[in-house]
């Protein structure tokens, strides 16, 4: 997946249970230098 992200803008959706806490997806991505922002629809 990381190779795909490097090639173009990427949208990734994950379940809500995987997002919070210091070991959740949001924090893991931020720790790796990714920009994480919510999409409001």
pTM above 0.75, yes or no: no
Domain residue limits, the chain: 2-31
Phi-psi region of 12 (alpha: psi -120 to 50; beta: other; left: phi over 0): beta
- The full length of the chain comes to 41
> 1-33, pLDDT tens digit by residue?
788 788 888 887 889 999 999 999 999 999 999
In this predicted structure, what is the pLDDT of residue 17? 94
The reported pLDDT for the residue numbered 22 is: 92
Query: CA-to-CA distance for 26 and 41, rounded, in angstroms?
Result: 19
Give the 3-state secondary structure of residue 30: helix
Residue tagged 């790796």 (tokens): 32
Count of CA atoms in the C-beta half-sphere (13 A) of 30: 11
Confidence (pLDDT) at 27: 95
């Amino acid at each position: 997946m990381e190779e795909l992200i490097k090639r173009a803008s990427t949208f990734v959706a994950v379940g809500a249970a995987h997002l919070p806490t210091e070991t959740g997806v949001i924090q893991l991505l931020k720790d790796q230098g990714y920009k994480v922002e919510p999409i409001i629809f």
